[in-house]
Structure 1
Amino acid sequence: MAPKNKENSNSTKKKNRNVVVEEDDDDEDYRRRRDRNNQAVKRSRVKSKLRTQQTLERVNQLKTENELLEEKIKMLTKELGFLKDLFLAHAGSNQHTLSTIQDIDLNALLADDSTTSQKGTTRF
């Protein structure tokens, strides 16, 4: 029975060699898959950072635009108030003269507009 053990040990060695070769192939294949995955993750993170940066830039742009529009609203509201007062003064006078317009404090209104202009707002 001794010869059978030798055959068994030889065939076991051959099987072990095949297993080692298969494990090497599996390791290389695994390494390739891991490398590809790592590269994909890097690309994904770069894209994510780029999208985040673009979103922040857009938010800042919209904030600036919003501030300008708020200033424009203030200016147009003052202008509307002035024109309403002018209209009411003109409609209320029977003589249709400019004497009632002088009752409106134009200097104060113009001073308000000039301080708004000095703050860096642009008249549209």
Structure 2
Amino acid sequence: MPSKRKGTSVTSEEDEDYRSKRDRNNLAVKRSRVKSKERKMQTQTQVKDLKIKNQVLEEKIKNLTKDLKFLKDLFLAQAQTKAEKLTNEQLRQLLADDDDEKNEPEASTSAG
């Protein structure tokens, strides 16, 4: 019967080759884990920065919305005041037009 251990005799060269591959793989895994950890930390830092920027922008929106409301109210108040003035002016004009119309038929009959 042939020996079962025939293929088990590993030369020291094969053993060194295997060890070398394992060492390179271990280093690659370490580098990969370090890079992964760095990416995670960068992402967390970026998230923190973006949250801060978001808060600043939200505050800016709040202030601009408040300013817009103030300006709208101011504009509406000014428009209301002008509208009241225009209404009074228009009433005067209408009254003046009524007086002119009363005088016009007389002028047109005497001219006609």
TM-score in same-fold range (> 0.5): yes
1:40 match: 46
Aligned-partner Cα distance in 2 for 1:58–1:49: 14
- Paired residues in the alignment total 94
Which stretches of structure 1, 4 residues or longer, exceed 6 Å deviation after superposition? none
Q: Map Cα deviations across residues 45-75 of structure 1 (whole Å, 9 max, x no partner).
A: 3223322221221112111110121121111
1:27 match: 33
Cα distance, 1:85 vs structure 2:
2.1
1:5 match: 10
Aligned-partner Cα distance in 1 for 2:34–2:74: 60
Task: Name structure 1 gaps, 5 residues minimum.
Answer: 95-124
Flag the structure with more relative contact order, 1 or 2, with Cα contacts below 8 A and sequence separation at least 6. 1
Aligned-partner Cα distance in 2 for 1:79–1:48: 46
Q: Map Cα deviations across residues 59-100 of structure 1 (whole Å, 9 max, x no partner).
A: 121111101211211111111111222334455458xxxxxx
2:62 match: 56
> Could you state the TM-score of these two structures normalised by the residue count of structure 1?
0.59
Task: Name structure 2 gaps, 5 residues minimum.
Answer: 1-5, 101-112
> Could you state the TM-score of these two structures normalised by the residue count of structure 2?
0.63
2:90 match: 84
